[in-house]
Amino acid sequence: MSRIIVKQLPKHITEDKLRNIFGAKGTITDLQLKYTPDGKFRQFCFVGYSTEEEAQDAIQHFNNSCIQTSRVRVESCAALGSESKPQSWSKHAKDSKHNLDKLKAAEEEKEKKASPGSESKKKEKAKKDTKVVEILGKHKDDPEFQEFLQAHDKTRTLWGNDLGVSEQNPEKEDEDEDEAEPTAAPNDGGVDADGDEPAGDEEESPVDEEAEKLAEKPISDLEYMKSLMAGKAAESTAAAASSKKSKVEKSSLDLFTIKIHNVPYNTKRQEVLKFFKPLKPYSVRLPGKVHGFCYVGFKTEKDMAKAMVKNKSFIKGKQVFFSDFTEKNKVTKASKSGLPPPNAPSESGANSKWKHQHDGLSKEENISESGRIFFRNLAYTTTEEELQKLFEEYGPVVEVNLPVDKLTRKIKGFGTVTYMMPEHALKAFNALDGTDFHGRLLHLLPGKELDNKDQNELDEDDSSLTFKQKKALKLKKSAQKPIGWNTLFLGPNAVADILAKQFKTSKERILDTSEGGSSAAVRLALGETQIVIEMKKFLEDEGVRLSAFDEPSQKRSKTVILAKNLPAATELSELSPIFSRFGPIGRLVLPPSGVTALIEFCEPSEARQAFKKLAYSKFKNAPLYLEWAPEQTFATTLSGEPIIPKTEKEEPKEKEPKRAPTPEVKEESKPEPVDDEEPEPDTTIFLRNLNFKTVKETVLEHFRHLGAIHSVEIAKRKDPQNPQQFSSLGYGFIQFKKASVADHALKNLQLTHIDGNPVELKRSDRVLKNQNEDASRRGQSAQKKQTGTKILVRNIPFQAQYREVREVFK
């Protein structure tokens, strides 16, 4: 842990004083003084160092020492969420014992208040119920009390004057009910509010029908009146809904709108309608708070064209001006409703900002899908190499991006990392979130997916792109791959220009073969050889390791870019402005020929940005061919320190003869060249149920006593947890030289045990190649030394002639 806590500090100490005191033991990356919500200093602070060694030195030096007459205690911080963290005792800490006890006590009091209150209420209710039962029991036989109950009974019949009378005379009640049946009363014969004809005698209003139904039910007077009021309320709400619907339909119409400018201040709606007579506008809108303009809508385009004739006319002695507001009105309506406007681009108007944010949120993926992590709260001294090393502990990393501030030239304290396998990203997220890194707590969040526009991906389905554009985009995308072209490649056009400049002649004369002599191809080949030799000498003088370009290393530099096949006689003043706009350049090496350049940036993030933007972009009359230079291209750093000590490469060569004695290798390789004959047919056997740890050598040793073996092959696939390694699939093949040996193995070695597993043998038609023999032959050819006067020349053009090749080597 590189983070420490300092307790019992003086009350009036400042951050600058603490930085001066604790900065003597190392680089401080973070220092936080803790205060209460009222702003009172709590007399402790956190200090973060770059390394754990510096933090331990500070603890040993400052613990139990005095700062301004206060004896301080210095301890190492516990990890976030660690069980070893001591219990907080201050009342200002949320997880302190004091606050936790308070919360528990408050919860217990609430529970106590809730439980006795509910019990007391239940007891009171039970008492009331028993009291009512007792009173009813006392006055059960009292006739006056019974009459009182009948008078206040809510369920008595509506038309009965008294419940007792209706019970005594049921026949009379039936007669009264027959007389009380409503009859269909004729209408007044007038016209209704809507101007329709009278309804006639046959139809009844829904209110009367409902009254009839209610009259038959045994309900109280109050409930009867309420039901009638509810019916009227339902009618009014239905009418309001219909009017509202008509208003919505009216507002949803696409009108042809005219905006009138310079309208007088007190203009009213009737005056605008009078102005357009004999035309009848469908709508007139006069803003209430803003004055000086209004909107007039028409149903048809023809009416709007007639209204536009009155442009530059006068209202109340003031000249007004018209403008067509139809399309803008549609956009305004759509923005209010939240829908995209008709016939409008996808990102238009004020909605484009919100649409961009919505798209950004929708592209936010889970780490297990994207493999991308966003990290923040970094120390400003952190480098990209340190982060790469930290994240590579959990799996192969594709890219670490650490933005740099252009003014301060320091990192911004945040960045992103992308893993090759998403499961490795998830593993790193769970392990590193909240951990200590260079004295600060690392905060990780799920990263967002990159835009296709930023990635410059090729869209082959895009019909608007030409074949040439698609090819250029494809080449730009392939430029990111580490496998490139010949480092010192020179185009024939550039070679001709350089030779013409060196020999002070014209380009036509160098390529002209009419005067006799060697052909143009031979001249260009010899000229290119001369230019390459001069270029190599210049690069070595500038501190470039040419051997780095010949090594088959797959690692590429993150800051050095190789620009190749530039137009002849390119100068530093032409290249520097193009690359320097992405960030400061550490060094730029350009040979006198001006056809190849090495550009080294100070920051890897700026180098990546320059590469992505400039690869295959136009420079003069040709595209810029960029490639990442090999790692350790220069012999020294920008500060002049040597990059590679020579001992690192010499160590493995010295150890090789000590590790493996040569006699054993010779004994194993002796039988392989002896058996050069081809294997007989039907000699391949399929091996099933092999142990996953079984290797090729184990199978060879197990079957070697039977006879000559042509080849052994174990089926493997890439390990999903570590793609650089291969894991066995549990089966394989073995091919013998003789068919009799294969038959003997099938009969006598069935279910033989190899590494503890019983292996099943079956005949197979598969033909295996002797990979060991091919490898040994390749090794033998590579180890041969030049003994004669002949050399092998490959990759000669098909149109080359015997005379031209002779002239080149002559």
Q: What's the CATH fold of domain 482-630?
A: Alpha-Beta Plaits (3.30.70)
DSSP assignment of 708-742? -EEEEEEEEEE-SS-TTSEEEEEEEEEEESSHHHH
Q: How large is the average pLDDT for residues 193-206?
A: 42
CB-side exposure of 398: number of CA atoms within 13 Å? Answer: 15
In terms of DSSP bridges, do strands 440-441 and 414-419 run parallel, antiparallel, or are they unpaired? unpaired
- Per-residue pLDDT at 365: 56
CA 406 to mean position of chain CA atoms: 25
Q: Is pLDDT larger for residue 371 or for residue 149?
A: 371
Which range has the worst mean pLDDT, 88-102, 448-462, 556-570, 748-762?
448-462
**Backbone dihedral angles phi then psi of residue 485, each to the nearest 5 degrees:** -95, -175
**Backbone dihedral angles phi then psi of residue 638, each to the nearest 5 degrees:** -65, -25
As a whole-number percent, the residues of the chain with pLDDT over 70 amount to 68
414 vs 379: CA distance, rounded Å: 9
Strand partners, 48: 3, 30
210 vs 208: CA distance, rounded Å: 5
pLDDT tens per residue across span 674-685: 455 778 888 899
Q: How large is the average pLDDT for residues 566-579?
A: 87
The H-or-E segment that residue 687 falls in is strand 684-688
Query: What is each CA distance from 681 to 688, 699, 749, 773, in whole angstroms?
Result: 21, 21, 20, 19
Q: Is pLDDT larger for residue 245 or for residue 599?
A: 599
Q: Which residues contact 68 (CB under 8 A, 6 or more apart)?
A: 10, 13
Q: How large is the average pLDDT for residues 475-495?
A: 65
- Per-residue pLDDT at 162: 46
- Would you state the structure tokens that stand for residue 696, as one six-digit string? 């090729």
Which range has the worst mean pLDDT, 14-28, 167-181, 438-452?
167-181
- Per-residue pLDDT at 173: 42
The H-or-E segment that residue 318 falls in is strand 318-319
- Per-residue pLDDT at 169: 46
596 close to 566: Cβ distance less than 8 angstroms: yes
Beta sheet of 752-754, edge-to-edge order = 709-718, 726-736, 684-688, 757-764, 752-754
Q: How large is the average pLDDT for residues 373-384?
A: 88
pLDDT higher than 80, residue 82:
no
- Would you state the structure tokens that stand for residue 633, as one six-digit string? 């291209």
- Per-residue pLDDT at 603: 86
Q: How large is the average pLDDT for residues 509-530?
A: 81
Q: Is pLDDT larger for residue 555 or for residue 424?
A: 424
pLDDT higher than 80, residue 515:
no
Packing angle between helix 520-541 and helix 802-809, nearest 10 degrees? 30
Q: Using pLDDT thresholds of 50, 70 and 90, give the confidence band for residue 665.
A: very low
Do domains 364-446 and 684-763 share one topology? The answer is yes
Q: What's the CATH fold of domain 364-446?
A: Alpha-Beta Plaits (3.30.70)
Q: Is pLDDT larger for residue 120 or for residue 402?
A: 402
Which range has the worst mean pLDDT, 56-65, 87-96, 205-214, 297-306?
205-214
266 vs 785: CA distance, rounded Å: 107
Which numeric CATH code is attached to 256-335? 3.30.70.330
- Per-residue pLDDT at 183: 40
Q: Using pLDDT thresholds of 50, 70 and 90, give the confidence band for residue 770.
A: low
Which range has the worst mean pLDDT, 251-255, 331-335, 532-536?
331-335
329 vs 255: CA distance, rounded Å: 9
- Per-residue pLDDT at 296: 92
Task: Of 3-17, 507-521, 663-677, give the range with the top mean pLDDT.
Answer: 3-17
508 vs 526: CA distance, rounded Å: 17
Q: Using pLDDT thresholds of 50, 70 and 90, give the confidence band for residue 89.
A: low
- Would you state the structure tokens that stand for residue 404, as one six-digit string? 């740099």
Q: How large is the average pLDDT for residues 209-222?
A: 59
Q: How large is the average pLDDT for residues 152-166?
A: 52
Average pLDDT of the chain to the nearest whole number: 75
92 vs 37: CA distance, rounded Å: 8
DSSP assignment of 126-195? HHHHHHHHHHHHHTTT-HHHHHHHHHT-TTS-SS-S-HHHHHH-HHHHHHHHHHT----PPP-----TTS
Local structure of 653: helix, strand or coil: helix
155 close to 224: Cβ distance less than 8 angstroms: no
Rg (CA), the chain: 47
360 close to 448: Cβ distance less than 8 angstroms: yes
H, E, C per residue of 548-559: HHHCCCCCEEEE
Give which of 688, 274, 623 is closest to 475, Cα–Cα: 623
281 vs 264: CA distance, rounded Å: 19
CATH 3.30.70.330 fits 3-76, yes or no: yes
Q: Using pLDDT thresholds of 50, 70 and 90, give the confidence band for residue 235.
A: low
209 vs 215: CA distance, rounded Å: 10
The H-or-E segment that residue 440 falls in is strand 440-441
635 vs 488: CA distance, rounded Å: 19
- Per-residue pLDDT at 198: 40
655 vs 668: CA distance, rounded Å: 21
Query: What is each CA distance from 225 to 222, 234, 269, 511, 803, in whole angstroms?
Result: 5, 14, 44, 114, 122
Residue with tokens 């009418």: 239
708 vs 723: CA distance, rounded Å: 35
343 vs 347: CA distance, rounded Å: 12
102 vs 105: CA distance, rounded Å: 5
Instruction: Please give the angle made by the CA atoms of 703, 707 and 712, to the nearest 5 degrees.
Output: 50
pLDDT higher than 50, residue 178:
no
pLDDT higher than 70, residue 353:
no
157 vs 168: CA distance, rounded Å: 15
- Would you state the structure tokens that stand for residue 96, as one six-digit string? 């302190």
- Domain residue ranges in the chain: 3-76, 256-335, 364-446, 482-630, 684-763
Q: What's the whole-model pTM score?
A: 0.47
Q: Is pLDDT larger for residue 694 or for residue 643?
A: 694
As a whole-number percent, the residues of the chain with pLDDT over 90 amount to 3
Specify the length of the chain in residues. Answer: 810
- Would you state the structure tokens that stand for residue 719, as one six-digit string? 């390990």
- Per-residue pLDDT at 674: 45
DSSP label at 205? -
Which range has the worst mean pLDDT, 280-289, 363-372, 515-524, 675-684?
363-372
pLDDT tens per residue across span 614-664: 888 888 888 888 888 888 888 888 877 777 644 444 444 444 444 444 343
- Per-residue pLDDT at 196: 43
Q: Which residues contact 213 (CB under 8 A, 6 or more apart)?
A: none
Q: Which residues contact 710 (CB under 8 A, 6 or more apart)?
A: 675, 679, 683, 735, 736, 737, 768, 770
- Range 684-763: architecture per CATH: 2-Layer Sandwich (3.30)
417 close to 372: Cβ distance less than 8 angstroms: yes
- Per-residue pLDDT at 347: 43
- Per-residue pLDDT at 26: 87
Exposure of 411 by Cβ count < 10 A (0-12 exposed, 13-18 middle, 19+ buried)?
A: buried
362 vs 369: CA distance, rounded Å: 14
